Structure 1
Amino acid sequence: MGKRKNLFWVALAAPGILWLAILFIVPFYAVLSIAMGKLNQLIEAPVAVWNPFDWSSSGVINVWRDIFGGSAFAGPIIGRTVLYTAVASLLCLLIGYPAAYFVARFAGRRKALFLVLLIAPFWISYMMRMLAWIDLLSFNGYVNKALGWFSLSPHYWLGGHAVTVIFGLVYGYIPYLIMVLYAGLDRIDPALLEAGRDLGLGRARTFWHVTLPLSRQAILTGLLITVLPMLGDYYTNQMLSGAASTSMIGNLIQGQLGTPGLEGQGAVLSLMLLLVLLIPMIYYVIATNRAEATR
């Protein structure tokens, strides 16, 4: 009987395992084979080396020099990416937490309506949302027209400004954070908040000592969901700026993958970015397991 149950669960997990192998493991190994492969000098095209014993470290050495060498150009781009992501994530949290808190605690009968409004951005493609921003921020767009109402001179927002890129990241990824925060805040037992009030805590102290600690896991999850795609984002800067002064690591990888002879270095950078992204993912798993153990 026990063997039959095991076979049942194996059969149930088999489609997911197969899907993971086809769409993640195989492409990952292909990128790794290109990153550790060789370069055809004649046609300047990467040659994938599938045998690990024949791998070359020349691509890794070149990328390391681009980041930390004397003539490094990738180091400032990586630093800029981290800065943009940190600022955008903080803004997402400062804007998204009050919105999620309001829907979870004070929306009342209109909670379903607010949830629909929060989910609505997911119905529109990311490209269309960025195109809408281009229209709003153009020289003759509505933002400059609004500035004109206050006798302020128009500003060319799409001329390679870091502020534009950061706000674009916030606009693009904040719905993910709000939905996760709402789910976490909505699960908090109201009896715990009432207990805090009964013990003499005011609204502010109840929020600080009860609500905020109980929503810590939701904050961590929401930031993870927003930070990870922000670090690899290249489309926002490409659409709203396109200037080298605001380029991010995703733009660098995209440029190398589209340049003959540099595809291998682009693959190495992609793998390095993946390794960096694994750090917060591992921390999230450890923090989640600790939180579950303390319940």
Structure 2
Amino acid sequence: MLGSPGIIWFVLWVLVPAYTIVAVSMGYVSDSMLPVPEWNPLYWNVETLTTVFREMRPGGTFSRVVTNTVIYVACAMALCVLVGYPVAYYIAKQAGRWKALLIVLLTIPFWTSYLMRMLAWIGLLATDGYVNRLLVGVGLLDNPYGWLEGHGFVVVIALAYGYLPYFILPLLASLDRIDDRLIDAAKDLGMNRLWTFLRVILPLSAMPLVTASTVVLLPMCGDYYTTTLMSGSPSTAMIGNQIQILAQGGPQQNVGASMALLLQITLILLLSFYLYASSKTNRTAAPV
């Protein structure tokens, strides 16, 4: 009984929308060029789904957005690790009395919507924005640079910036649970700071790193507004942008639903692998 509200919420706002995407993807297009969902699995039509899958492979119509998504997400994840891990480790193990204050500062981005934070970047990177003013003023640039004119690296930086707090907080919580006595024992055995990190801290933080990466990987893959705001160029479009265009209306809504379904399946497989690896690690670490 206590779980009924949660189950009802899950069914209404997760399972029903997910099944709707499947029904539209497996449906048909009417004579008036409107998508007709097929709710009965016995009459599902997989032709659109298989066609979209072929077009998402190398050389296909949608291969560019798939390639962009993979490259941008991988680069943004690398930035999150390079920036987020040292920050999380410092707060967890080195911050001392400043720990509470630093955690509060980390939560400040959650007080503002993701969209508003991206809009703030537009003000910074615009042709007459503060970044160009600074770079021109100190002589690093002769003329203002078009940061928002379809550059993939700007999209990567914006993705990393937007999702970095979601990466740091779960990683911080996990690193904070590492027993300090293990670190002290490594030092007592003669290990310096580098070897203590490589032989003790890094192995213990492997699964927390996977957990934090999973938290940001899933929304990154479906992100579309970051690319729209920071570039707006078709050359930097991601899968989310393509789904948005196809799903806005017209006769290709079933194509957009098929692409969304394939993206969901891919993310479910990645999440399943994470859950399997996590449970396997927990079983291995469990006391006999």
What TM-score do you get using the length of structure 1 for normalisation? 0.93
| Distance in 2 of aligned mates of 1:194 and 1:149 | 50
| Distance in 2 of aligned mates of 1:145 and 1:139 | 9
Q: Quickly say closer, same or farther: Cα 1:265–1:218, change in 2 above 3 A.
A: same
Q: 2:222 matched to which residue of 1?
A: 232
Q: 1:6 matched to which residue of 2?
A: none
The answer to whether residue 142 in structure 2 is matched with residue 169 in structure 1 is: no
| Distance in 2 of aligned mates of 1:227 and 1:62 | 26
| Distance in 1 of aligned mates of 2:283 and 2:122 | 47
The answer to whether residue 241 in structure 2 is matched with residue 277 in structure 1 is: no
| Aligned-pair Cα RMSD in Å | 1.3
Aligned partner of 2:276 among 286, 289, 293: 286
> Could you list the per-position Cα deviations for residues 227-268 of structure 1 after superposition, in whole angstroms to 9, with x for gaps in the alignment?
111111001000110100100000000010014000001001
Contact 2:53–2:262 at 8 Å: present in 1 too?
Answer: no
> Structure 1: which 5+ runs fail to align?
1-10
**Which runs of structure 1 show a deviation greater than 6 angstroms over 4 or more consecutive aligned residues?**
none
TM-fit CA distance, 1:65: 4.1
Aligned partner of 1:223 among 209, 213, 218: 213
| Distance in 2 of aligned mates of 1:40 and 1:151 | 61
Aligned partner of 2:53 among 40, 57, 64: 64
| Range 26-35 or range 244-253, more displaced | 26-35
Number of positions where the alignment pairs a residue of Structure 1 with one of Structure 2: 283
**Paired AA for residue 113 in structure 2:** S
Quick one: percent identity of the two aligned structures? 43
**Paired AA for residue 76 in structure 2:** A
Aligned partner of 1:195 among 181, 185, 190: 185
SS in 2 for 1:140: coil
Q: 1:179 matched to which residue of 2?
A: 169
Q: 2:79 matched to which residue of 1?
A: 91
The answer to whether residue 120 in structure 2 is matched with residue 143 in structure 1 is: no
The answer to whether residue 107 in structure 2 is matched with residue 114 in structure 1 is: no
| Distance in 2 of aligned mates of 1:30 and 1:181 | 35
The answer to whether residue 252 in structure 2 is matched with residue 262 in structure 1 is: yes
What TM-score do you get using the length of structure 2 for normalisation? 0.95
> Could you list the per-position Cα deviations for residues 144-202 of structure 1 after superposition, in whole angstroms to 9, with x for gaps in the alignment?
12212331222110000001100010010000111011111111111000000001100
TM-fit CA distance, 1:69: 8.3
| Distance in 2 of aligned mates of 1:137 and 1:73 | 32
| Distance in 1 of aligned mates of 2:50 and 2:269 | 22
